[in-house]
Chain A
Amino acid sequence: MPVDIDIDHVARLARLALTDEEKDRLRVQLGLILEYAARVQEVAAEDVPPTAYAVPRSNVLRPDEPQPSLSHEDAIAGAPEVEADRFKVPRIVEQE
């Protein structure tokens, strides 16, 4: 059975503006894709540990030595809007 998704809620979580036409299409397509994907639930795997990475590694550290890093100039060079050497964005906090 096709899965029913609350597209508006998910799009909001994903910070993704969608047109009504896109939402209608996605609702149908994702229902079908999820029908396939949900087959993982058929596998009895209760006592099987999950695998996050095929070649497991943990606590990979390097010596704590200072090294040159990206310059301020390079870091902001691709920004859509810059002011006083900083990334500029529309207002975030409501004004009183």
Chain B
Amino acid sequence: MADLCDLPAHELTRRLRAGEVSASDIAESCLARVDAVDERVGAFLTVTADLAREQAMAVDERLRAGEDLGAVAGIPLALKDVLATQGVTSTCGSRILHNYVPPYDATPWRRLRKNGAVLVGKTNCDEFAMGSSTENSAFHPTHNPWNLDTVPGGSSGGSAAAVAAGEAVWALGTDTGGSVRQPASLCGVVGLKPTYGLVSRYGLIAFASSLDHVGTLTRSVRDAATLLSAIAGRDPRDATSVDQDPLDYTHGLDDGVDGLKIGVVDGTFSEGVQEGVRARIREAVARLAALGAEVGEVELEHSDYAFSAYYILSPGEASSNLARYDGVRYGHRADGASDVVEMMMRTRGEGFGDEVKRRIILGTYALSAGYYDAYYGQAQKVRTLVIRGYEKAFERFDVVLSPTSPTTAFRIGERVDDPVAMYLSDIFTIPADLAGVPSISVPCGLDDAGLPVGLQFTGRALDEVTVLRVARAFELDLGFEARPPLLASLT
């Protein structure tokens, strides 16, 4: 029998309401799983066991008092360490913030906390969310629960691994170039990146502001819809958040794909995509057609330039956002500098890791006098063309489909010295970040090595409903029940 921590959130909520289990039982189940596996997985930077127990007890008291609590109450959650948590260290996986304790909560966490969510801890990630393997964390790597010698993907690798291993029932991550969907794909879980601005970024420690999204990591599409419903909506503290009335994204989830038009993105079966991935995607396309979807091929115009535009826009914005780490107001400060400029330069030299330095220098260069028009300005124009490419595709199709990642999980250390190879992990995920459209990765089976393959569906801006519906229909039909081998050894 599965442990409580392995159950979907909606089943836990049912049992809570029926009085069959307490929130404390559920929290203890997750904490026991953390004790059993996290030494090997390394999903967490901070485990908030005391806080989790306190929050679970508070939920149990509210339930005893007869309060009707929502769908996130009593459900153990993990948060990527780039989201600010009042009173709980938030490092962004960086030495420069190793001791940073935020004085406020990020809006998505504040909303969940008020509704009775239980925080298991803060998860590991690539430093400032820059990376695709979680190897750029200043603290330790995270191991993929499906094969501990491989990476969990990134940058939200800790959140994806925690959910895959049952250390949390669900988690929040962030997606700037694919950092929710790619680790979801590599860890065999569901990763949803909503429309840009649908979820507030207040308290999300910024990487690239025009591209940063908060997203969800869950073990089912239904749970993704539930968690999104709890965090979406306008926030006066984030000027980019969209005016959208709160929706229950679980409505219409089971309406199926009959009659929907699904476009298979050009390049899905190209040579750069591993054979094992192509095989699973081919089967998925056949499955969707058998379910009644009208499947065709589609070219996303200019998406082959999205990768290049992304590696100008995101470092440019990062170089500006990360200017705030100057050793004055919080975080690390270098000792012994004789003037303020030397103090800042040494603080940043000591505090940032290789990848962050690479992107700060790249971004500063691309924004510097004489280069702005050729790089940043031109990349912004290409971004317009990428958006038009999607608009054209969505004239003919309701959603488009591709692999999430061209490969399954790769070995730890394999790509650390080859930044371009690492960056290419995100070739299929980057376009949706540039265009701000909703996109989800769902498990699509295993390759010959027993590693998960992810299938990505992308839809029109603010049409999460259709994206979730298609993903749900596929998930139900596939019936992906496999769990990481690591968990079999526990019982």
A40 B382 Cβ-Cβ under 8 A: yes
Chain B CB within 8 A of A1 CB = no
Given A26-B358, A45-B381, A48-B385, A90 contacting B340 (CB threshold 8 A): yes
**For window 38-96 of chain A, which residues contact chain B by CB distance below 8 Å?**
38-43, 45, 48-55, 57, 60, 62, 70, 74-81, 87, 89-92
Question: Across the interface, which residues of A come within 8 angstroms of B309, CB to CB?
Answer: 40
Could you tell me the distance in whole angstroms from the C-beta of A26 to the nearest C-beta in chain B?
A: 6
B349 A36 Cβ-Cβ under 8 A: no
Given A17-B346, A55-B242, A50 contacting B380 (CB threshold 8 A): yes
Chain A CB within 8 A of B70 CB = no
Question: Across the interface, which residues of B come within 8 angstroms of A80, CB to CB?
Answer: 327-328, 330-333
Give the CA-CA distance A57 to B239 in the complex, in Å.
Answer: 8
Determine which residue in A33, A40, A77 has the highest number of CB atoms from chain B within 10 A of its CB, and name it. Answer: A40
**Which applies to chain B's interface (DSSP): helix, strand, loop or mixed?**
helix
A49 B378 Cβ-Cβ under 8 A: no
Determine which residue in A13, A49, A81, A91 has the highest number of CB atoms from chain B within 10 A of its CB, and name it. Answer: A13
Give the CA-CA distance A82 to B186 in the complex, in Å.
Answer: 45
A-side interface size class: 35 or more
In the complex formed, the residue of B with least CB distance to A42 is B305
Question: Across the interface, which residues of A come within 8 angstroms of B101, CB to CB?
Answer: 77-78
Among A14, A62, A79, the residue within 8 A (CB) of B330 is: A79
Give the CA-CA distance A10 to B362 in the complex, in Å.
Answer: 9
Among A15, A39, A60, A74, the residue within 8 A (CB) of B103 is: A74
B361 A14 Cβ-Cβ under 8 A: yes
Could you tell me the distance in whole angstroms from the C-beta of A71 to the nearest C-beta in chain B?
A: 8
A45 B382 Cβ-Cβ under 8 A: yes
Given A33-B420, A78-B331, A39 contacting B308 (CB threshold 8 A): yes
24 intermolecular pairs with C-beta atoms under 8 Å apart? A11-B361, A15-B323, A16-B352, A19-B349, A30-B358, A33-B423, A34-B362, A37-B308, A37-B312, A40-B305, A42-B305, A43-B382, A50-B380, A54-B435, A54-B437, A55-B195, A60-B239, A74-B103, A78-B103, A79-B329, A79-B330, A80-B332, A80-B333, A87-B329
A residues lining the B interface (CB < 8 Å)? 5, 7, 10-11, 13-19, 22, 26, 29-30, 32-34, 36-43, 45, 48-55, 57, 60, 62, 70, 74-81, 87, 89-92
Sort A-B residue pairs by CB-CB distance and give the 4 closest, nearest first. A54-B436, A17-B349, A50-B380, A80-B333
B residues lining the A interface (CB < 8 Å)? 99-101, 103-104, 195-197, 210, 236, 239-240, 242, 302, 305, 307-309, 311-312, 319, 323, 326-333, 337-346, 348-350, 352, 354, 357-358, 360-362, 364-366, 368, 374-375, 377-385, 387, 419-420, 423, 434-437, 461
Known: A15-B341, A45-B378. 6 other contacts (CB 8 A): A30-B361, A33-B419, A40-B309, A48-B385, A49-B381, A51-B383
